[in-house]
Structure 1
Amino acid sequence: MDPVLVAAGTAVVGAMATDAWQQARAAVVGLWRRAGSAEAETVEDELAQVRVQVLAARADQDDDTEQVLVSVWRLRLRDLVRRDPALAADLRRVLDEELLPALDAPDRERTRAVLMNATASGHGRVYQSAGDQHINES
Structure 2
Amino acid sequence: MEPITVVAATALVGAMATDGWQRARDGVVALWKRVHPERAGTVEAELEELREEVLALRAQQGGDSRAEEEGLAAEWEGRLARLLRRNAALEAELKRVVEEDLTPSLPQQERDRITSIDMRAYARDHGRNYQAAGDLHIDGGT
TM-score, normalisation: structure 2: 0.81
Contact 1:3 1:113 (8 Å CA) reproduced: no
- The AA in structure 2 aligned to 1:29 is V
Find runs of 4+ consecutive structure 1 residues off by over 3 angstroms.
Answer: none
Q: Using the alignment, how far apart are the partners of 2:100 and 2:106 within structure 1?
A: 11
Runs (5+) with no aligned partner, structure 1? 125-138
Match of 1:135 in 2: none
Match of 1:19 in 2: 19
Root-mean-square deviation (CA, aligned residues, Å) is: 1.6
Match of 2:138 in 1: 120
Q: Using the alignment, how far apart are the partners of 1:113 and 1:107 within structure 2?
A: 10
**Which of residues 103, 119, 125 is equivalent to 2:106?**
103
Match of 2:76 in 1: 73
How high is the sequence identity, in percent, across the aligned residues? 44
- The AA in structure 2 aligned to 1:65 is E
**Offset at 1:63?**
2.3
Contact 1:4 1:113 (8 Å CA) reproduced: no
TM-score, normalisation: structure 1: 0.83
3-state DSSP class of the match of 2:56? helix
**Offset at 1:116?**
2.1
Q: Using the alignment, how far apart are the partners of 1:62 and 1:96 within structure 2?
A: 24
Cα distance change, pair 113–29 in 1 and its aligned pair in 2 (3 A)? farther
Runs (5+) with no aligned partner, structure 2? 118-132
